[in-house]
């Protein structure tokens, strides 16, 4: 098949007559009645105009193409067409392949009989929704707008975020069966060349039939596909996307996908929110640290409870042990079963809430949270204490700004509960050690996943673990070895004015 295509690439199908062309096209568009093929008589010339109706902005075709074409008093040839039709980016094509591709991309073709080439204009009608508020990564402060499914809109938003001619939006086409346009975005004066090259190579060398969405693309080009942790950041916020790119990262936009991909990232990127930047530095730091604690709580709290109650109740102080014992007295199950039951319940609620329409979803929350929660305790299925702990850890997992990371954290809890229930504290410790080693081994676009903690770089800590006032953040991320490290002049930022200056 591929060989045949190559052959046809070499020889042009032109010049030909219009009926012939029509027949050829119709064999290609078998059982497809949407191809609009019209032949016009004009100044003793025969012109063919063809396109797929629903891909084309028909008003534009009539006003800007057909009107000047047919009203003119002269005879046409290709050069005149390109020069005199008031439409930009017209181009010539020769082969059947190019024509077919062009038709699907929303181009209008004009063929003047016996010419050696065919002329086309892109007059694509793009169906897209309007810009709307971010849903999965909602913010209180800062820009609220989210990416949409249209690549052009997304590029527009990115350019708006970075008004610099350093911003490169490299076009890459991926997908053999249904090609899709990708854009590799980076700042050429800042981003590390190795990162750009690695990303470009991974995209270009991709051999798949099609890419459904940017999250599918992530899975295709990730460093380690067996890991539970996401290795590229997927964001729907244009401000986050352009902020990351302006700090030297590489981004990818995918046609028909409302999220942008950012790489390389670290584990800590998933706990950063752009809101940290919009808040005052000390408050931003507080919330960032809070999210770290939330992550630890979310992974460890329920497993700890299971481990301690099953094996090491000596750890619990006497007053607490009494209340705990009272609340557990009615429960006939071992703690591990009790915890798994509740965790599963919470996961069910979350999953159901996400699938259902918003209004029903809220009702689900009330039904699940209040009715089942209280009833479960009264029925003696779980203890009160555990309900508090499970709710706390579920809540904590939702503080992660990235939905992907939040899911990872919630799923991690299940093996940890089993480890805690089987081996107590030793099991939990085993799990923690395993996780840390796993994180140490992970990379994102070839860069360590845990940087700047390991490989350690104290200059980057203020961008990941906490924040400092802006006059101390003169550098970009040191660990990523960017081309241009400095954001602004450090000395100027620190200069203090005298009293009456």
Residues forming the site for other proteins (CB under 8 A): 311-312, 314-318, 320, 423-426, 428-430, 433-434, 436-438, 440-441, 450, 453-456
Least distance in angstroms from the C-beta of 312 to other proteins: 5
Which CB, 226 or 378, lies closer to other proteins?
A: 226
Least distance in angstroms from the C-beta of 487 to other proteins: 25
Backbone angles phi, psi at 184, to 5 degrees: -95, 115
477 burial class (0-12, 13-18, 19+ CB within 10 angstroms)? buried
DSSP annotation of 130: P
Biggest distance spanned by C-alpha atoms of the chain: 103
3-state secondary structure of 251: strand
Rounded CA-CA distance 206/172 in Å is 11
Which CB, 398 or 434, lies closer to other proteins?
A: 434
Which CB, 392 or 425, lies closer to other proteins?
A: 425
Structure tokens at 334: 């071992």
Least distance in angstroms from the C-beta of 319 to other proteins: 9
Residue whose C-alpha is closest to residue 110's, from 173, 172, 162, 64: 64
3-state secondary structure of 476: coil
Which CB, 360 or 436, lies closer to other proteins?
A: 436
Sign of the alpha-carbon torsion through 15, 16, 17, 19: negative
Distance of CA 116 to the CA centre of its chain: 44
Least distance in angstroms from the C-beta of 430 to other proteins: 5
Least distance in angstroms from the C-beta of 388 to other proteins: 14
Rounded CA-CA distance 186/107 in Å is 29
Least distance in angstroms from the C-beta of 396 to other proteins: 18
Which CB, 211 or 442, lies closer to other proteins?
A: 442
Residue whose C-alpha is closest to residue 270's, from 310, 304, 317, 233: 233
Tokens 């796993």 -> residue: 438
Rounded CA-CA distance 284/288 in Å is 6
Rounded CA-CA distance 98/36 in Å is 18
Which CB, 102 or 424, lies closer to other proteins?
A: 424
Which CB, 192 or 246, lies closer to other proteins?
A: 192
62 burial class (0-12, 13-18, 19+ CB within 10 angstroms)? exposed
- Listing DSSP states for 162-222 in one string gives ---TTEEEEEEEE-SSS-EEEEEEEETTTS-HHHHHHHHHHHHT---S----HHHHHHHH-
What are 41's strand-pairing partners? 46
Residue whose C-alpha is closest to residue 158's, from 302, 269, 254, 19: 254
Least distance in angstroms from the C-beta of 456 to other proteins: 7
Which CB, 124 or 438, lies closer to other proteins?
A: 438
Rounded CA-CA distance 86/81 in Å is 9
Least distance in angstroms from the C-beta of 231 to other proteins: 16
Residue 405: its H or E element: helix 403-441
Which CB, 320 or 472, lies closer to other proteins?
A: 320
Least distance in angstroms from the C-beta of 296 to other proteins: 11
Least distance in angstroms from the C-beta of 301 to other proteins: 13
Which CB, 216 or 426, lies closer to other proteins?
A: 426
């Amino acid at each position: 098949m591929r060989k045949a295509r190559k052959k046809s690439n070499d020889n042009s199908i032109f010049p030909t007559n219009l009926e012939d062309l029509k027949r050829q096209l119709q064999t290609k568009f078998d059982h497809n009645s949407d191809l609009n093929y019209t032949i016009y008589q004009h100044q003793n010339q025969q012109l063919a105009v063809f396109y797929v109706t629903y891909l084309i902005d028909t008003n534009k075709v009539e006003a800007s193409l057909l009107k000047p074409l047919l009203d003119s008093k002269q005879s046409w040839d290709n050069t005149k067409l390109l020069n005199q039709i008031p439409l930009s980016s017209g181009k010539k094509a020769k082969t059947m392949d190019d024509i077919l591709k062009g038709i699907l991309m929303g181009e209008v073709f004009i063929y003047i009989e016996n010419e050696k080439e065919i002329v086309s204009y892109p007059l694509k009608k793009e169906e897209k929704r309007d810009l709307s508020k971010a849903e999965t990564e909602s913010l209180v402060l800062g820009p609220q707008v989210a990416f949409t499914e249209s690549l052009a809109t997304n590029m527009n938003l990115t350019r708006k975020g970075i008004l610099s001619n350093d911003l490169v939006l490299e076009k890459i086409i991926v997908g053999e069966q249904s090609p899709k346009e990708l854009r590799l975005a980076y700042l050429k004066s800042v981003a590390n060349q190795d990162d750009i090259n690695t990303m470009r190579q991974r995209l270009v060398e991709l051999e798949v039939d099609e890419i459904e969405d940017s999250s599918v693309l992530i899975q295709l080009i990730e460093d380690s596909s067996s890991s539970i942790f996401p290795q590229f950041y997927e964001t729907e916020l244009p401000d986050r996307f352009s902020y990351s790119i302006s700090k030297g990262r590489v981004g990818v936009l995918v046609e028909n996908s409302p999220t942008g991909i950012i790489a390389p990232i670290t584990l800590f990127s998933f706990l950063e929110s752009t809101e940290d930047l919009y808040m005052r530095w000390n408050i931003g730091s507080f919330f960032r640290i809070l999210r770290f604690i939330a992550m630890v709580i979310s992974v460890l709290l329920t497993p700890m409870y299971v481990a301690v109650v099953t094996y090491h109740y000596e750890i619990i102080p006497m007053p607490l042990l009494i209340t705990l014992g009272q609340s557990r007295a009615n429960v006939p199950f071992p703690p591990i079963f009790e915890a798994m039951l509740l965790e599963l319940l919470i996961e069910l609620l979350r999953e159901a809430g996400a699938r259902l329409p918003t209004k029903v979803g809220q009702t689900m929350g009330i039904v699940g949270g209040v009715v089942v929660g209280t009833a479960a305790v009264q029925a003696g299925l779980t203890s009160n204490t555990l309900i508090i702990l499970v709710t706390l850890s579920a809540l904590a997992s939702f503080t992660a700004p990235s939905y992907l990371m939040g899911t990872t954290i919630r799923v991690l809890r299940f093996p940890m509960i089993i480890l805690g229930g089987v081996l107590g504290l030793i099991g939990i410790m085993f799990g923690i050690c395993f996780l840390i080693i796993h994180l140490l081994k992970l990379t994102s676009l070839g860069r360590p996943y845990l940087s700047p903690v390991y490989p350690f770089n104290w200059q980057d800590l203020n961008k990941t673990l906490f924040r400092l006032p802006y006059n101390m953040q003169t550098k970009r991320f040191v660990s990523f070895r960017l081309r241009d490290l400095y954001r602004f002049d450090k000395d100027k930022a620190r200069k203090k004015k005298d009293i009456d200056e």
